[in-house]
Structure 1
Amino acid sequence: MTYADIALPDAVRDAVGVQLSLLPDPCLDVDRALTRYHQVFAALPTELLQQMLDFGRHNDTPGLMLVRNLPVDEHLPPTPADGRPAGGRDTFVAEGVLLGLTGLLGEPLGVLTEKDGRLVHDVVPVREGAREQTNQGSAVFLNFHSDITYDPTGRYDIANPDFLVLNCLRGAPGDDAVTYYADARAIAAALPERTVETLRSPLFRLNAPGSYTRTAADGADVWSESVPLLSGAPRFPEIAVSANGVRPLTRGAEDALRALKETCRAVADEVRLQAGQALLINNRKGVHARSTFRAHYDGRDRWLQRTYIRRSLWSVRYRATPEDRRVHF
């Protein structure tokens, strides 16, 4: 399954950049900012706009889209060392790109156990988390996974983000950070029918994300109920896998999980993000991973911004906070 790849013409990039550079920090009034970004991105050339909208609204489109030649901030502060937002920003073009693309796919969602519920996540290497299975890591391969949210019901598929957007503010200095995406359709097609049947059986338990266990459960493992890893119509399967660990419950499930991991590596697309590029990721159609890369912690490290996106916030209203876009998980 080949990913989609589109690029803004230079004149369009520059026009969008000028408009975004005039807008304030979106955190001051998120709904108004989203409205303004919608106005800006609605003026994209029709063909490009439709491709991005189609990515989010059709079942048969690829689960990954690379958008290139996006506007960038003229001046960036050093890459934050702690994973929190950087101060000293004169413009917020990066946030405008991130949330403008987000608005084409759905509604941004904050999760209180991830980045303190912020809608815009700064994804950077953090020295203390270098070997963790989280977005702070750099010294270990970040396993193929879905971005999952822990739900007290024990399920991990009902409130997960439908999409993610990753916008690159600063690429890895050595261009050695690789993002991988393995589409569930390609995975299922490459596996024996019996293995797929096992993966579709409730023979696995998923560990809660590292951010949840670190902040909400004192580091203890928090396991889901028994669930399948693959679900949905055979033609359009959905996949949910935890980077923090999957526990197979039978010998057959253990063999199927091993085959799944090997197949993800075999069928995955690879992208090395650089500034001015963004990835649109369908979080249900496939799983993603990240290579190791060298981090220097000198203010020049790789810097992405990320959003979690739901097509609608209505179905997660049972966990909503008074801020509406932020949920308890």
Structure 2
Amino acid sequence: MHHLTLTPEDNATLSPVLAELAKSYDTIEDPELILRAPVFARQLPVHVLEFLEEFRIGEPSALCLISGLDVDEAELGATPEHWRDSQYGSPAFVQELFFLLCGSALGDVFGWSTQQDGRIMHDVLPIKGHEHYELGSNSLQHLSWHTEDAFHPCRGDYVALMCLKNPDAVETVVCDAADLDWSQVDVEALFEAEFTQMPDNSHQPENTAESTGDAVVDRLRARSFALIQSWNERPVKRPVLSGDRENPYMALDPYHMQTEGWSERSLRAFEGLCAQIESEMRGVSLRPGDVVFIDNFRAVHGRKSFRARYDGSDRWLKRLNITRNLRGSRAWRPAPHDRIIY
């Protein structure tokens, strides 16, 4: 793991920078803040920027952890009951700003019109009634390991998590592709476009608001849901592996993949890769103030089950999607500066 611990001096340096930004904006979703975040990121300590750049370019690990950010859990108050309750007046705004700046040093943050009402920064917390759903808001069911948004051609390069609360030390599970024995996997078969990746449940219309009140946005989002429905009805075949055959990138989400119609070789290769991943899965228990960036091309991740209390003390994370190629999604976004994929 690529790891940096912030010192008390780092927190002292960051505090006035973040406080000044917090005076200028009232929500992390402010379009101007998102647009200017790469410039504001230059105010991060130089060694933090160098650390993130080494992760981005050198790929020393599929996990990059920055720990030690100051978090006062008393100031946070209760964990929200739902992600819709957390956008404005966030008690974690200062921490959200640090998270945004670090993410913007790695690439461009973006959101999905079909996830959490099109927000850039998501909340990951248990929601009553979701205990057994295959969603990040579940609790009693394991969140199956996966590539984030594996089904979509515009999936992010990184999925990032910032921990605000984790009283039960619930583990995020991760497998780094570098830990796999590729000589035991049928790599050539997995490079073929023979595998169906289905849209995951978090992009389904029942998990977002029916209307935003903006006719243009609602029309674009309806188009996105219609496209997702078409992918469910007529799955697109894609490869599981890409890039360098000696050290490949991965894109798979077994829970949302249909194996019907696959050739025997494809199925055997896929099962062999899944077995390798299962054998190398590792647990990471995030602590308050931890920020982890997971390389979404070189790792899969999930989460172990836990019993939510729903008393305001539950696990609470923030999540960002980050791309190194914003132009790659231009056909899916209304304008060059828009960060929401429709």
Cα distance change on mapping 1:8 and 1:99 into 2, 3 Å: same
2:139 is matched by which residue type in structure 1? Answer: S
User: Are 2:214 and 1:213 equivalent residues in the alignment?
Assistant: no
1:168/1:41 Cα in 2 relative to 1: closer, same or farther (>3 Å)?
A: farther
* One-letter amino acid of the counterpart of residue 278, structure 2: R
Report the counterpart of residue 140 of structure 1 in structure 2. Answer: 141
Among 179, 192, 201, the residue aligned to 2:184: 192
Superposed, 1:115-154 pairs within 5 Å as: 115-148=116-149
- Over the matched positions of the two proteins, sequence identity in percent amounts to 26
Residue 88 of structure 1, CA deviation: 4.6
Asked if the contact 2:17–2:43 (Cα under 8 Å) also holds between the matched residues in 1, the reply is no
In structure 2, the residue matched to 1:225 is 236
* CA distance 1:132–1:274, change in 2 (3 Å): same
Q: Tell me the residue number matched to 2:168.
A: 174
Unaligned runs of 5+ in 2: 207-224
* 2:256 match: 245
TM-score by length of 2: 0.83
8 Å CA contact 1:21, 1:92 repeated in 2: no
Encode CA deviations 1:22-69: one digit per residue, 9 max, x unaligned: 41334463333663674465441x3332121121123x4211111100
- 1:54-100 Cα shifts (integer Å, max 9, x gaps): 21123x42111111001335611311112224255356112112101
* Unpaired stretches in structure 1, ≥5 consecutive residues: 151-155
Residue 129 of structure 2 aligns to a residue in which SS? Answer: helix
Counterpart code for 2:253: S
Structure 2: how far apart are the matches of 1:300 and 1:219?
A: 37
Aligned partners of 1:184 and 1:238 also within 8 Å: yes
**Alpha-carbon distance in structure 2 between the residues aligned to 1:168 and 1:308:** 15
CA distance in 1, matches of 2:41, 2:241: 38
What secondary structure is seen at the aligned counterpart in 2 of 1:159? coil
TM-score (norm 1): 0.86
Give deviations 1:246-296, integer Å, cap 9, x for gaps: 123133333333332222122233210111101011111121111111211
SS in 2 for 1:168: strand
Three-state SS of the structure 2 residue aligned to 1:317 is helix
The 8 Å contact of residues 173 and 282 in structure 2, kept in 1 or not, is answered as yes
Distance 1:212 1:304, change over 3 A: same
Q: Which amino acid aligns with 1:291?
A: K
Change (3 A) 1:127 1:278: same
Q: 2 CA distance for matches of 1:104 and 1:269?
A: 27
Matches within 5 A, 1:34-49: 35=36, 38-39=39-40, 42-44=43-45, 46-49=46-49
Q: Secondary structure at the match of 2:83?
A: coil
Equivalence for 2:307: 294
Aligned pairs (5 A) from 1:4-83: 4-22=2-20, 23=22, 24-27=25-28, 29-32=30-33, 35=36, 38-39=39-40, 42-44=43-45, 46-58=46-58, 60-72=59-71, 75-83=75-83
Instruction: Work out whether residues 208 and 242 of structure 1, in 8 Å CA contact, stay in contact via their aligned partners in 2.
Output: no
Which deviates more, 14-23 or 215-224? 215-224
User: Are 2:187 and 2:245, in contact at CA under 8 Å, matched by a contact in 1?
Assistant: no
Given the alignment of the two structures, is residue 161 of structure 1 paired with residue 156 of structure 2, yes or no? yes
Q: What amino acid sits opposite 1:184 in the alignment?
A: A
Partner of 1:127: helix, strand, or coil? coil
Which stretch of the first structure deviates more once superposed, 80-89 or 49-58? 80-89
Paired amino acid for 1:180: V
